[in-house]
A = this chain, B = another copy of it.
């Protein structure tokens, strides 16, 4: 397989537009046959990795699930790493769409923050295998993928940070440096990929709601007056 593709990164002034670029475009509203096919592949890959885990699931499994040959699959993607990048990019697009809607519809920063946390926890829980690999191997992703994925991650985090800053200003949360607060709350949500069983006794959405409220509520019967 060719290693000659170059990624058309938006942050690279001298990037060349090639196959790789189109692959990491948005698949939210597929317009071309190629985009529709990539979306099918991403969905099949999610299922395979959800069932078998990322290590054990193979491109062969993905091809089988789609009823196509391995060479036909290789026409669209080159490697498992690329498949991971495309899939994470798609999940990030889905997540960004969801948090943008929450951002628009919830004026109250505390309610908004909780909704954002619930959205993240349920997204991680639904695609646990993929996120396990993503959080573990993200740093090792090829530069051309990171150039697309990292700015989206940053935008995703910014929705949280804005809600947290507003919640702190409104005295819903103790005031600490905003990056600390943001990473602390994101950490609880993200770390669920290691322990929260999406098919466990407590339904995923209910667990997510419990966690979001737990992190942003104290019982009104006993207030700790210690200043932070």
Contacts and interface: CB of A to CB of B under 8 A. Distances in A.
A226 B217 contact: yes
A43 B51 CA distance: 41
Interface residues of A, number: 44
Interface string A201-225: 0100001001101111111111111
A118 to B, nearest CB: 13
Contacts of A136: 136
What's the number of copies of this chain in the assembled complex?
2
A180 to B, nearest CB: 6
A57 to B, nearest CB: 16
Given A186-B191, A224-B110, A211 B171 contact: no
A214 B183 contact: no
Contacts of A215: 184, 215
Contacts of A210: 176-177, 180, 228
Contacts of A189: 187
A218 B177 contact: no
A158 to B, nearest CB: 15
- Which of the listed residues A174, A175, A185, A192 has the most CB atoms from chain B within 10 Å of its own CB? A174
A223 to B, nearest CB: 5
A210 B175 CA distance: 9
A191 B183 contact: yes
A21 interface: no
A97 B195 CA distance: 25
Contacts of A6: none
24 contacts: A136-B136, A171-B221, A171-B222, A172-B218, A173-B218, A173-B219, A174-B218, A174-B219, A176-B210, A177-B210, A180-B196, A180-B207, A180-B211, A180-B214, A184-B211, A187-B190, A187-B191, A190-B191, A191-B191, A216-B218, A216-B224, A217-B224, A217-B226, A218-B224
